[in-house]
Structure 1
Amino acid sequence: MSELPADVALMWGLKDATRRGPKPALTAEDITQAAIELADAEGLAAVSMARVAERLGNSTMALYRHVKSKDELLTLMSDAALEYPAPMPDGTDWRTGLTFWADNVLTVTRQHRWYAQIPITGPPAGPRNLAWFDAALGALAGTGLSEEGKVGVVMGVMTYVHGQIRLSMDLAAGFADQPEIFSRYGAILSTVVDRRSLPALGRVLDAGVFDVDIAFEEADNQDFDFGLQLYLDGVAGFIERTCS
């Protein structure tokens, strides 16, 4: 398996798979799970090789025999923290299927509030991430799109979903620190915005768009779904142009 990148081999359980002898007392899976538990409890900033080693009751050097760096550990965490996708309901059309998929990505990643902070260093390569990739591609099976077209659509929806999740997590943290900013955003802007220099924004304020009276998470869900459906409107036009 030497031709595989080390992190990919680890995610698939293929590193040292041919080595003979007793099972080691510590594995990359153990290290990854301990890191996930630490991040769940204290946030991603708390994760270091030393802290994970402490949690496992091992030396830091013992971890490096299985996981070569913190960056590699973060890559392992980005796959292992995901649940496998729920089965797509039978008879689902492509648009309902991608909406179901995106909503489930949101639900799964919200179980680990730190997940959106992990750097994205490459395309999906782990078993769980590829299972999600496959599920989204499968939703497009009956559209008539080429395989290349399906990949393009799915990569686009991935970009939207992951971008919105990252924005949502950042805003949620800010809201937790200053909840009054969310409820008073329209009033705050109305105080400082000059309608002559910012006329378009002034019209938004005059229309009361930011005068919200709903919970942050409800507003966040509405924004997520609105943007998703706009993207899927574009996909619908693309399918009509290329497949009809």
Structure 2
Amino acid sequence: MLSPPLPITDAAVQAGALAMRNVWRASELAISRDTTRPTGHATLDAELPGAGWPRSVLVELLVQQHGIGEMQLLKPALAALSARQRVALIQPPFLPNSMTCRAWRVDERSVYWVRPASSADALWAAEQMLKSGAFGAVVLWQSNVRPEALRRLNLAAQGTETWLWLVRPLAAASDPSPSPLRLALRPAFGGVSVDIIKRKGPHCEHPVFVTLNEIPAGRQPDNDHEAPAQRVFATAAARSAVPALV
């Protein structure tokens, strides 16, 4: 004999409704359960899962060229993080400087500039900084990164309380990557144009324009204009991160 159906209680209805809310559909922008930090740019936050930069994962910034505003895009997050945590810059393309730190309200005492001799050393340094738990943010610049190295970086970031950004050429946009968030950056008048090429949610059909106050409206950024804000970013004297990891 068949057993009579169990009565549907209010608790069961509520549990079912909660389960439905927890189901992510590919047509919807995901609601991140991980910690995120606002980018400081409302137009960009509106298009990102969790309305900000995700923590504990690899985030890729794919740039058409260095110095188009990528560091200004990160400036609000780095300024907030440096107030209470260390920030590591690994193999930046331009010479860091303390004056811009002060202008951007980034605590220069918290910024560690690391310039390894090779790409392999840079990747190793990034992994060790992530695993150490001594840094609130790591920004790594690389031209060529193998897929297995990307997986190692993403894996090292998981379980940490660190924000990790990898800056590499726009040509890498077609390469496979475990990163849950990949942004392609191009210069634009008065700011930067951001193509969200990968996110947890539907495909972003149109670029997001982000206004950057240090790029005058009506002028497209170039290396000469960007030099004061981009080439001189962190700290005048290079500091080794080794003591922080010991």
Interval containing the TM-score (normalised by the shorter chain): under 0.3
Q: Say which structure is richer in helix.
A: 1
Higher RCO, 1 or 2 (CA under 8 Å, sep at least 6)? 2
Q: Using structure 2 for the length normalisation, give the TM-score.
A: 0.23
TM-score, normalised to structure 1, is 0.23
Instruction: Tell which structure's C-alpha radius of gyration is larger.
Output: 1
